[in-house]
Chains A and B, each alone.
Chain A
Amino acid sequence: MSKVVAVTGNEAVANALRQVNPDVSSAYPITPATDIMQRFTSFVSNGQVKTEMILVESEHSAMSGCVGASAAGGRVMTATSSQGLALMWEELFIASGSRLPIVMALVNRALSAPLNIHGDHSDGMGARDCGWIQLWSENAQEAYDNTIQAFRIAEHMDIRLPVMVCLDGFIISHSIERIEYLEDEEVKNFVGEFQLLNPLLDIEHPVSYGPLILPDYYMEYRRAHAEVMSKVPNVVVDIAKDFEKISGRKYGLFETYRLDDAEIGVVILNSAAGTSKDVIDEFRDRGIKAGLLKPRVFRPFPYEEIGNSLKHLKAVCVLDRADAFGASYGPLFADIAASLYPYKEKPVLTNKIYGLGGRDYLPEHAELALNELVEIAKTGKVKTFREYIGVRE
């Protein structure tokens, strides 16, 4: 039985965390993620969860606390944004390298300087290679559903890796939407009991975490990590099937929208995908075969499946809500281009950087990209491969 509510993205994530009822949380507030932990600490104070809440003095300590609690043998979660994620940087690698199944909500926000609290993807993209799994969410419903599934993915005995659940700062975190909550009991049964793997607190079987691994073994551990990453997609799909049984909502590695017979398409992450779908409907009404692909699992990036879904298109625009300064293209573009590289026949690709620091992504931006793609599909000629849109000259 699900319950329909009107809540913000942060409220939805906090409620998912209440329903999961983790053993330990170690957190430090930062806009726009603050609201998640503020709500969660109320659940702790009110006795609605049995979580041991550790309030620390920085995000560096927040993630360190998560690493320690997870190694000790607890189910652990936290939340952060932007500079907070940046300050966690070294612990992100320690969490993944030590194979600790920590779940973290990342409410995407621009990085300083200049100081900005609004949504873009530069925080999450900066951490894309840190060995964590990343799930991206278009709206509050997806953020809620991804948070619940993240625990199952992270804690799967073939995986044991930390998971970041990304949602757009303010646009999703602070906007009220209609979403469906699962019953507490359904979530509890879905995530199940936490399974232990080499817990530090098992004094009958003493273990050490974090040993020095020199050139004679370091590469073997990295190769093993890469192997685990390659097992993630199947696990994510299996868990999504189980989730569909209790929620009725389908999830995969990515979402396609009117893509099967499309000739042109856009690839875009998170909230801006919703706006783009509306515009695609308008183009379809005019007889233009437009479609969309929205990655959900960005790490590990499902290269084969995404390449296979896009290869039949004539032209594709990849929209990035983050720039990779000095790189040839934006971070999402780079992975999309790599996924299409093996194919002889493949679409022409363009890249647009949009929405930095919370700049609105408007229907006219999607129209601009799609109109260009129509031209490219017709003539095969590209005016600009890479540009900023929605920026004043």
Chain B
Amino acid sequence: MKLKGWKKVNPGAVVTEGGSALEFKTGSWRAFKPKFIEENCIQCLFCWVFCPDMAVKVKDGKMVGFNYDYCKGCGICALECPGKKGNKAIVMEEEGK
């Protein structure tokens, strides 16, 4: 995407379009990465509810994995995940390992 010059920016940095967060990818901020362990998932969708961005992918009402373009690695999904019989369906792993 070509960056705009100063003559083209909106006064006061006001964002005049809805849904513009889609264009703002923040995955590079991440130090820890959530890993999805499908066999421990009970499809409660707590991860999708609690994710502060839009990093949890849901298809046909089911959690199917992560969109890492928007995941900052906050770990809320892993914390909230109830898992199955004491085993988490989401665990945080250090990036680059």
Contacts and interface: CB of A to CB of B under 8 A. Distances in A.
A343 interface: no
Given A99-B11, A160-B11, A197-B11, A223 B16 contact: no
Contact of B12 (A98, A217, A219, A227): A98
Given A221-B9, A224-B9, A209 B14 contact: yes
B15 A224 contact: no
Interface string B1-25: 0011111011111111010100000
Contacts, number: 53
A113 interface: no
Interface in B29-60: none
A198 B10 CA distance: 10
Interface residues of B, number: 15
Contacts of A205: 16
Contact of A217 (B7, B9, B11, B20): B9
A217 B18 CA distance: 19
Contacts of A197: 11
The range of chain A's interface size is: 20 to 34
B3 A216 contact: yes
Interface in A38-78: none
Interface string A135-173: 000000000000000000000000010000000000000
A97 interface: yes
A100 interface: yes
B12 A211 contact: no
Nearest to A216: B3
Contacts of A98: 12-14
A207 B16 contact: yes
Contacts of A223: 6
Nearest to B3: A216
Given A216-B3, A217-B3, A220-B4, A198 B9 contact: no
Contacts of B10: 198
A219 B4 CA distance: 11
B7 A224 contact: yes
B6 A220 contact: yes
A100 B12 contact: yes
A213 B12 CA distance: 11
A185 B37 CA distance: 72
Contacts of B11: 99, 160, 197-198, 224, 228
Interface string A178-219: 000000000000000000011000000111111101001101
Interface of A: 97-100, 160, 197-198, 205-211, 213, 216-217, 219-221, 223-224, 227-228
Interface of B: 3-7, 9-16, 18, 20
22 contacts: A98-B13, A98-B14, A99-B14, A197-B11, A198-B10, A198-B12, A198-B16, A205-B16, A207-B16, A208-B15, A209-B12, A209-B13, A211-B15, A213-B13, A220-B4, A220-B5, A220-B6, A220-B9, A221-B6, A223-B6, A224-B9, A224-B11
